[in-house]
């Protein structure tokens, strides 16, 4: 372990940023903003608007810098808002779902709210990985199972949560949990909820007791991680927040503001014995510090296991919380990072005081 400070500048090389902007690379979200001199507008790296000529573009680290130079925020990509925030048109639907989670939604209900069902479907698939109807069904089922754990009968839980028949409720339980309805009360809920951060949206997963997942939405490894936690955890996936995730969200906000150095939200490290040993070693790499794979191998008392340590580091399913971003090459280079190398750079610079907290200053 060491306190070696990075000597990188806040922004990547101009050629690299131009390439990222022209290719709408989401890995650079939170790393820089693009301002177009000919329009007076600044955008996210991933903005879908027509791309300007590179010679008409300049780059900034924060929204404040862009605003101070007289640029206006793009109305399409909304760079002043955290990435992933629900747009205004869908917010009434989300509020309605929160207010009445047992409602059985139909396309006609969406149209009555002035919403196009196809547009709603596309947004939920993109943001949550499932259609709106699948999302609402999962919430209803999770709520029903919760009331069964509290002592309600199968019949009460079914009809209180909008199921029209017991057979349909039993089939839904078996399909999601893999066990008969009578055994489902032994299963808890695995809550899955999107969190907005300056580096882009993340998916948080938690039981009633601890966090078991925190991953960037666009990380290719995410589907694999979801499959793994479903195998290791017997809980039923429910697409909503819970008190554990709410605490995590609060701590992440403070972390990105530079106001928090150690997370107190409980973690469930469930993995293989070796993975858990490596993840525990990662937790010993403190805020503002870095270590190498070799350092971790020595920490667990197995200096010859560098490659296995690297694999376990890559299998970490709780970004930031289990700080694999603090692992650098033995020569001080940044090495790889599942969430994107420039996210890693951002996090290290934030922790070492090189970067001002947050993109949305």
Residue 176 sits in the same domain as residue 92: yes
| Residue in 47, 74, 77, 324 annotated catalytic | 324
The answer as to whether 285 is a domain residue is no
Give the model's pLDDT for residue 116. Answer: 92
Tens of pLDDT, residues 79-113: 877 666 677 888 899 888 888 777 788 899 999 99
- Is the confidence at residue 189, as pLDDT, over 90? no
Last residue of a domain, one of 186, 213, 235: 186
- Is the confidence at residue 243, as pLDDT, over 60? yes
The answer as to whether 216 is a domain residue is no
Lowest mean pLDDT among 72-76, 92-96, 151-155, 251-255: 151-155
pLDDT band for 213, please (50, 70, 90 cuts): very high
Range of the domain at 22: 14-73
Residue 102 sits in the same domain as residue 165: yes
Residue 45 sits in the same domain as residue 104: no
Last residue of a domain, one of 28, 44, 73: 73
* Interacting residues of 189 by C-beta distance below 8 A, sequence separation 6+: 142, 145, 146, 207, 208, 235, 236, 237, 238, 242
Give the model's pLDDT for residue 306. Answer: 92
Residue 104 sits in the same domain as residue 174: yes
* C-alpha neighbours within 13 Å on the C-beta side of residue 59: 21
Give the model's pLDDT for residue 209. Answer: 92
Tell me how many domains the chain contains: 2
Query: What CATH number did the domain enclosing 33 receive?
Result: 3.40.10.10
Q: Return left, alpha or beta for 182; rule: phi > 0 is left, psi -120 to 50 is alpha, else beta.
A: alpha
Residue 66 sits in the same domain as residue 111: no
Pairwise CA distance, residues 238 & 87, whole Å: 23
The answer as to whether 218 is a domain residue is no
The answer as to whether 328 is a domain residue is no
Residue 164 sits in the same domain as residue 110: yes
Assess contact for 220 and 205: CB atoms under 8 A: no
- Rounded to the nearest 5°, which phi and psi values hold at 214? -150, 105
Residue 94 sits in the same domain as residue 126: yes
Lowest mean pLDDT among 51-55, 82-86, 217-221, 231-235: 82-86
- Is the confidence at residue 251, as pLDDT, over 70? yes
Give the model's pLDDT for residue 297. Answer: 93
Give the model's pLDDT for residue 144. Answer: 56
Angle between helices 132-149 and 91-99 (to 10 degrees): 20
| Mean pLDDT over each residue of the chain, to the nearest integer | 80
- Rounded to the nearest 5°, which phi and psi values hold at 2? -150, 175
Q: What is the mean pLDDT of residues 74-78?
A: 85
| Residue in 43, 74, 77, 212 annotated catalytic | 43
Pairwise CA distance, residues 218 & 295, whole Å: 29
- Note if 43 is an active site residue: yes
Last residue of a domain, one of 186, 221, 238: 186
The candidate with the shortest Cα–Cα distance to 38, out of 22, 19, 58, is 58
Query: What CATH number did the domain enclosing 105 receive?
Result: 1.10.10.60
Tens of pLDDT, residues 112-149: 999 999 988 888 877 776 788 878 777 776 655 555 45
| Residue 302 DSSP label | -
Residue 182 sits in the same domain as residue 94: yes
Pairing of strands 33-36, 57-60: antiparallel
Q: What is the mean pLDDT of residues 210-238?
A: 83
- Note if 47 is an active site residue: no
Tens of pLDDT, residues 269-328: 999 999 999 999 999 999 999 999 999 999 999 999 999 999 999 999 999 999 999 998
The answer as to whether 119 is a domain residue is yes
């Amino acid at each position: 372990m060491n306190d070696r400070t990075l000597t990188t500048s806040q922004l990547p090389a101009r050629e690299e940023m131009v390439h990222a902007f022209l290719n709408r690379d989401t890995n650079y979200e939170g790393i820089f903003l693009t301002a177009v001199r000919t329009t007076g507008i600044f955008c996210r790296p991933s903005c879908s608007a027509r791309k300007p000529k590179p010679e008409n573009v300049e780059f900034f680290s924060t929204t404040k810098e862009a605003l101070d130079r007289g640029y206006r925020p793009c109305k399409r990509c909304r760079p002043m808002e955290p990435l992933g925030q629900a747009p205004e048109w869908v917010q009434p639907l989300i509020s309605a779902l929160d207010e009445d989670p047992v409602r059985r939604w139909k396309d006609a209900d969406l149209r009555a709210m002035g919403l196009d069902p196809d547009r709603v479907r596309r947004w939920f698939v993109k943001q949550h990985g499932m259609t709106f109807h699948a999302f609402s069904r999962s919430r209803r089922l999770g709520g029903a199972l919760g009331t069964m754990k509290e002592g309600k009968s199968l019949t009460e839980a079914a009809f209180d949560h909008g199921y029209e028949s017991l057979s349909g409720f039993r089939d839904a339980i078996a399909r999601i949990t893999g066990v008969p309805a009578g055994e489902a009360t032994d299963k808890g809920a695995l809550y899955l909820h999107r969190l907005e951060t300056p580096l882009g949206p993340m998916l948080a997963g938690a039981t009633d007791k601890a966090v078991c997942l925190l991953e960037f939405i666009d990380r290719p490894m995410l589907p694999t991680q979801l499959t793994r936690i479903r195998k290791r955890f017997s809980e039923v996936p429910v697409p909503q927040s819970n008190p554990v995730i709410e605490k995590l969200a609060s701590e992440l906000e403070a972390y990105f503001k530079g106001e928090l150095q150690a997370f107190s939200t409980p973690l469930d490290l469930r993995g293989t014995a070796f993975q858990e040993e490596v993840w525990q070693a990662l937790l010993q790499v403190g805020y503002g510090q870095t270590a190498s794979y070799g350092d971790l191998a020595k920490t667990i008392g197995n200096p010859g296991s560098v490659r296995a340590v690297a694999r376990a580091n890559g299998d970490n399913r709780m970004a930031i919380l289990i700080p694999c971003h603090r692992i650098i090459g033995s020569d001080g280079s940044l090495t790889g990072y599942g969430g994107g190398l420039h996210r890693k750079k951002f996090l290290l610079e934030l922790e070492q005081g090189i970067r001002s907290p947050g993109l949305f200053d």
